[in-house]
């Protein structure tokens, strides 16, 4: 058994909120640079170069890479040999978000009630997902999610007879409906299987997988590649102004499901696709 003080979690989350909002993840940086080189439309290439300039200025001047600094989504993979001390884990995570968004001068975008809509003034509470795993470490992923792209996400409760062609149609429908509103070039996270809520969670987590790493399941890998190609043939392009780079990646997660269902979730993220991971 290993003991971890929750203060260490607070410190890590605080630093990760600031890092994620100021610097592009390495996999996204590589993908954006490659897109700028490969984009065939002159206007699309110009937009991608402007985005590169924005990222460079943000890093040099410590300015957020997007004005929407997002709602903090936290994934915690907790080793079952870990014991926490010093307070409640959830409170520690939210304290890290509070400090990160306050000290980092990041925009506070969370309202305390979805109808009354009074701002909480510190971007808490975060949306926290817990998973118990083997070992004595804690893996933390901080993924601030802007709502321009979040609002474009969809859940489709397909029939089993719809099959893989139905899945393809659902993904393309979500992307085409999103159009320029998701700030392309986008990353498309997809969850297939499970239940209504499970497929949505899988789609969200898929966005945190490096964009240059495909699924290890052969047919899923093929589906990721095919969907990326078809999405980039829509012509939506960078900034929605036309081009050959509408998406940088399609990441798909799957899970067993019921004989009567085929749930599919599509969670779209904008071109910054913020995510930072640390292990304590």
From first to last of its 280 residues, what are the pLDDT tens digits of the chain? 899 999 999 999 999 999 999 999 999 999 999 999 999 999 999 999 999 999 989 888 999 999 999 999 999 999 999 999 999 999 999 999 999 999 999 999 999 999 999 999 999 999 999 999 999 999 999 999 999 999 999 999 999 999 999 999 999 999 999 999 999 999 999 999 999 999 999 999 999 999 999 999 999 999 999 999 999 999 999 999 999 999 999 999 999 999 999 999 999 999 999 999 999 9
Residue 138 sits in the same domain as residue 261:
no
Map tokens 């998973």 to a residue.
131
Tokens describing residue 137: 């470490």
Helix, coil or strand: residue 227: helix
Residue 152 sits in the same domain as residue 141:
no
Any idea what the Cα angle at residue 62 is, between residues 150 and 52, rounded to 5°?
65
Residue 109 sits in the same domain as residue 154:
no
Map tokens 């499901």 to a residue.
257
| Residue 55 neighbours by CB under 8 Å, 6+ apart | 24, 29, 32, 65
Q: At which of 123, 145, 167 does a domain end?
A: 145
Sheet with strand 262-269: strands edge to edge: 154-158, 262-269, 186-194, 247-257
Report yes or no on 155 lying in a domain. Answer: yes
* pLDDT at residue 151 in the model: 96
Residue 117 sits in the same domain as residue 216:
no
Residue 118 sits in the same domain as residue 133:
yes
CA dist 57 and 193 (Å) reads 41
Residue 254 sits in the same domain as residue 180:
yes
Task: State the total domains in the chain.
Answer: 2
Q: At which of 88, 112, 145 does a domain end?
A: 145
Please name the helix (run of DSSP H) or strand (run of DSSP E) that holds residue 254, with its range, or none.
Answer: strand 247-257
Any idea what the Cα angle at residue 267 is, between residues 78 and 75, rounded to 5°?
10
Residue 69 sits in the same domain as residue 154:
no
Helix, coil or strand: residue 167: helix
Residue 251 sits in the same domain as residue 214:
yes
Structural domain range at position 16: 2-20+65-145
Contact, 168 vs 248, CB < 8 A? no
Q: At which of 145, 169, 199 does a domain end?
A: 145
Report yes or no on 40 lying in a domain. Answer: no
Using CA atoms, how far residue 121 sits from 39, 74, 99, 118, 218, in Å, is 40, 19, 11, 9, 46
Report yes or no on 123 lying in a domain. Answer: yes
* pLDDT at residue 44 in the model: 93
Residue 171 sits in the same domain as residue 201:
yes
Report yes or no on 230 lying in a domain. Answer: yes
Report yes or no on 36 lying in a domain. Answer: no
Report yes or no on 49 lying in a domain. Answer: no
Contact, 67 vs 107, CB < 8 A? yes
CA dist 74 and 77 (Å) reads 10
CA dist 226 and 69 (Å) reads 31
* pLDDT at residue 87 in the model: 97
Residue 182 sits in the same domain as residue 265:
yes
Residue 181 sits in the same domain as residue 131:
no
Report yes or no on 43 lying in a domain. Answer: no
* pLDDT at residue 132 in the model: 97
Report yes or no on 27 lying in a domain. Answer: no
* pLDDT at residue 59 in the model: 86
Residue 254 sits in the same domain as residue 172:
yes
């Amino acid at each position: 058994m290993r003991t971890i003080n929750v203060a260490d979690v607070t410190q890590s989350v605080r630093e990760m909120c600031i890092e994620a909002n100021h610097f592009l993840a390495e996999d996204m940086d590589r993908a954006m640079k490659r897109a700028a080189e490969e984009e065939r439309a002159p206007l699309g290439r110009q937009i991608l170069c402007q985005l590169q300039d924005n990222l460079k200025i943000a890093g040099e001047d410590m300015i957020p890479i997007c004005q929407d600094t997002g709602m903090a989504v936290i994934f915690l993979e907790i080793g079952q040999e870990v014991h926490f001390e010093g307070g409640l884990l959830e409170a520690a995570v939210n304290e890290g978000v509070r400090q990160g968004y306050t000290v980092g001068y990041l925009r506070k975008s969370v309202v305390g009630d979805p109808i009354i809509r009074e701002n909480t003034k510190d971007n808490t509470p975060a949306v926290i997902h817990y998973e118990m795993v083997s070992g004595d470490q804690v893996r933390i992923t901080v993924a601030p999610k802007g709502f321009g792209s979040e609002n474009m996400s969809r859940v489709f409760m397909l029939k089993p007879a719809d099959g893989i062609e139905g899945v393809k149609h659902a993904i393309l429908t979500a992307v085409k409906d999103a159009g320029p509103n998701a700030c392309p070039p986008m990353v498309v996270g997809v969850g297939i299987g499970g239940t209504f809520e499970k497929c949505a969670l899988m789609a969200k987590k898929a966005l945190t997988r490096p964009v240059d790493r495909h699924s290890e399941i052969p047919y899923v890998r093929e589906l990721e590649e095919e969907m990326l190609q078809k999405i980039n043939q829509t012509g939506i392009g960078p900034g929605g102004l036309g081009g050959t780079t509408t998406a940088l990646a399609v990441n798909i997660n799957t899970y067993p499901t019921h004989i009567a269902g085929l749930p599919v979730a599509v969670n779209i993220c904008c071109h910054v696709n913020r995510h930072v991971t640390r292990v304590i």
